[in-house]
């Protein structure tokens, strides 16, 4: 047996960099758990680690450049003898595959999205083939440098994760892949077709997370409203939510990435009457003009979107809607963009993100006519964000004087003596915060807060009731 196996010598150290979306973060936590179980020791800094794993994002060009920048930073440490080996995992690896080894030739191993379960073997192969800062490792010639597996026909389990989110909240992936054929999107090529995680498995993972101290459960998938259709022959998100509502220890359930198709009346009623599903829905709409929606191949029309939004607003008290839009899609006219701006002003989304169209190689939109200059796309993004800013700030100002339940995230590093928290309208990392004054508050506490001021997008308040 090799004397370099991590369990037969001093513990190997590894650093980990997780990039991209919450779905990628779940994959990172699963890989972290696998490595820890197999005897590797996690360290907070790549400098001096035997190995560093970079879990990359390959969604759009800025994300790819960020991933490549981190990879090159790690390779510089390797060249200086301060890191033993560099492993690249995740969506960028899946999208570029062996081409990535040509772009960053110093990478020791690459592993695709669905090779994550074998991350320990990949890391060991890198370590036994390339020397580490401690001198352990033997360089080998002709070593296999990449591992890719086909997309699964059943969703992978995400148990036994080593979580890197704060203890009181966690992301729970309920499915993998996507059956949508949006012309701008490369995700199906990286993540495969939609595969639903069985209800009993989701509940088992939720209970494991609750036992680990999670109070806020954040459901993610590429398309959460599609949940169940491939596995059960019908959508079953409403049923899943009712079962999650019964999991002891979980206080808040937040649902992200809801597609406007398959948003049933049963689902609306379930959200409206649930004890724990908070009134926050993330529904990326991308556009509102019918011609642009058709060119995007969204399979939904403006009237259907407006009808659904009307039902949601009428049924769910204090609903916060988050959405995202793409501006500058190929062929988008001035009039079509103006229609989008007016729609945003009328719909008054409490939370809204705006992205410029990204030219994604291999996607159908690349072949469309009417590609726009970057300057036009950036000007349109600025204009739509300006319209949304007025709406968001007006909403924040309207909260002053109200009492809201918030979940405490931890001490405010910028305001000594205060805590950072989030209300139901605030998803971690993408939305706003509530700065809270109060005594004996700890991360994970849920407490009523009287809002005393609005600071642009953020809120300020003081704790006024019992902590639970």
pLDDT attached to residue 9: 60
| SS percent in the chain: helix, strand, coil, step 5 | 35, 20, 40
Dihedral of CA atoms 396, 303, 281, 26 in degrees, nearest 10, equals -130
Work out whether strand 109-111 and strand 175-176 pair parallel, antiparallel, or are unpaired.
Answer: unpaired
The CATH homologous superfamily for domain 6-147 is Methylthiotransferase, N-terminal domain (3.40.50.12160)
Q: Give the span between the Cα atoms of 423 and 429, in whole angstroms.
A: 13
CA distances from 20 to 66, 100, 271, 311, 458 (A): 9, 18, 28, 32, 24
Helices (H) and strands (E) in the chain, counts: 14, 19
* In the block, residue with structure tokens 């301060």: 82
3-state DSSP assignment of residue 220: strand
The segment(s) of the chain belonging to CATH 2.40.50.140 are 403-463
What DSSP character marks residue 3? T
CA distances from 393 to 111, 419, 423 (A): 44, 22, 16
Work out whether strand 252-255 and strand 277-282 pair parallel, antiparallel, or are unpaired.
Answer: parallel
* Model pTM above 0.85: yes
3-state DSSP assignment of residue 361: coil
Enumerate residues 6+ apart whose C-beta is below 8 A from 76.
none
Q: Give the span between the Cα atoms of 46 and 78, in whole angstroms.
A: 10
pLDDT attached to residue 151: 86
pLDDT attached to residue 133: 47
pLDDT digits (tens, 9 = 90+) for 360-399: 999 999 999 999 999 999 999 999 999 999 999 999 999 9
149: left (phi > 0), else alpha (psi -120 to 50), else beta?
Answer: beta
pLDDT attached to residue 1: 36
3-state DSSP assignment of residue 108: coil
pLDDT attached to residue 445: 98
Contact 184, 329 (CB under 8 A): yes
CB atoms within 10 A of CB 314: 11
**Tokens for 14?**
């590894």
Q: Give the span between the Cα atoms of 342 and 348, in whole angstroms.
A: 10
Q: Give the span between the Cα atoms of 379 and 381, in whole angstroms.
A: 5
Strand ranges, E, within 283-431: 320-327, 351-356, 403-411, 418-422
The CATH homologous superfamily for domain 169-398 is tm_1862 like domain (3.80.30.20)
**Tokens for 69?**
């920048």
The segment(s) of the chain belonging to CATH 3.40.50.12160 are 6-147
- What is the enclosing helix (H) or strand (E) of 208? helix 199-211
Closest CA to 88 of 47, 49, 130, 122: 122
pLDDT attached to residue 5: 46
**Tokens for 153?**
């026909």
**Tokens for 121?**
């073997």
pLDDT digits (tens, 9 = 90+) for 103-129: 999 999 999 999 999 999 999 999 887
CATH number attached to the domain at 403-463: 2.40.50.140
CB atoms within 10 A of CB 213: 15
**Tokens for 135?**
């001198």
Task: Per-residue pLDDT tens, the chain, 468 aa: give them.
Answer: 334 444 456 789 999 999 999 999 999 999 999 999 999 999 999 999 999 999 999 989 999 999 999 999 999 999 999 999 999 999 999 999 889 999 999 999 999 999 999 999 999 999 887 554 444 333 444 467 889 998 888 888 999 999 999 999 999 999 999 999 999 999 998 999 999 999 999 999 999 999 999 999 999 999 999 999 999 999 999 999 999 999 999 999 999 999 999 999 999 999 999 999 999 999 999 999 999 999 999 999 999 999 999 999 999 989 999 999 999 999 999 999 999 999 999 999 999 999 999 999 999 999 999 999 999 999 999 999 999 999 999 999 999 999 999 999 999 998 888 999 999 999 999 999 999 999 999 999 999 999 999 998 999 999 998 999
């Amino acid at each position: 047996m090799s004397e370099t196996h991590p369990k037969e010598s001093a513990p190997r150290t590894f650093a980990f960099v997780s990039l991209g979306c919450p779905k990628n973060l779940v994959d990172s936590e699963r890989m972290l758990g696998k490595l820890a179980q197999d005897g590797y020791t996690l360290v907070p800094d790549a400098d001096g680690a035997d190995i560093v794993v970079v879990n990359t994002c390959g969604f759009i060009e800025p994300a790819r450049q960020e991933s490549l920048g981190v990879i090159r930073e790690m390779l510089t440490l390797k060249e200086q003898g301060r890191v033993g080996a560099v492993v690249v995992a995740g969506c960028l690896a899946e999208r570029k595959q062996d081409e990535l080894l040509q772009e960053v030739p110093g990478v020791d191993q690459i592993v695709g999205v669905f090779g994550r379960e074998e991350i320990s073997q990949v890391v060991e192969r890198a370590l036994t083939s390339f020397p580490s800062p401690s001198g352990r490792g033997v360089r080998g010639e002709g070593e296999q440098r990449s591992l890719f597996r086909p997309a699964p026909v059943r969703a992978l389990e995400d148990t036994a994760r080593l979580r890197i989110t704060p203890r009181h909240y966690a992301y729970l992936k309920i499915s993998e892949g996507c059956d949508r054929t949006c012309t701008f999107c490369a995700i199906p090529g990286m993540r495969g077709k939609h595969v639903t995680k069985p209800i009993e498995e989701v509940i088992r993972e939720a209970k494991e997370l609750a036992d680990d101290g999670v109070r806020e459960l954040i459901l993610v998938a590429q398309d959460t409203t599609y949940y169940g259709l491939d596995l059960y022959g019908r959508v079953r998100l409403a049923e899943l939510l009712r079962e999650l509502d019964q999991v002891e220890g979980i206080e808040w359930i937040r649902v992200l990435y809801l597609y406007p198709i398959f948003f049933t009346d049963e689902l609306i009623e379930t959200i409206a009457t649930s004890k724990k599903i908070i009134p926050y829905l993330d529904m990326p709409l991308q556009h509102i003009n019918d011609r642009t929606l058709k060119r995007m191949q969204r399979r939904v029309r403006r009237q259907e979107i407006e009808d659904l939004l009307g039902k949601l607003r009428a049924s769910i008290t204090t609903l916060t809607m988050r959405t995202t839009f793409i501006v500058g899609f190929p062929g988008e006219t001035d009039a079509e963009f103006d229609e989008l701006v007016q729609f945003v002003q009328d719909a008054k989304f409490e939370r809204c993100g705006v992205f410029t169209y990204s030219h994604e190689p291999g996607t159908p939109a690349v072949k469309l006519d009417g590609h726009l200059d970057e300057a036009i796309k950036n000007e349109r993004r600025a204009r739509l964000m300006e319209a949304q800013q007025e709406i968001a700030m007006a909403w924040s100002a309207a909260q002053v004087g109200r009492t809201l339940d918030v979940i405490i995230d931890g001490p405010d590093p910028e305001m000594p003596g205060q805590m950072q928290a989030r209300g139901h309208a605030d998803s971690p990392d993408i939305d706003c915060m509530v700065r809270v004054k109060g005594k004996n508050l700890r991360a994970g506490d849920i407490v009523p807060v009287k809002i005393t001021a609005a600071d642009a997008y953020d809120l300020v308040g003081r704790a006024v009731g019992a902590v639970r």
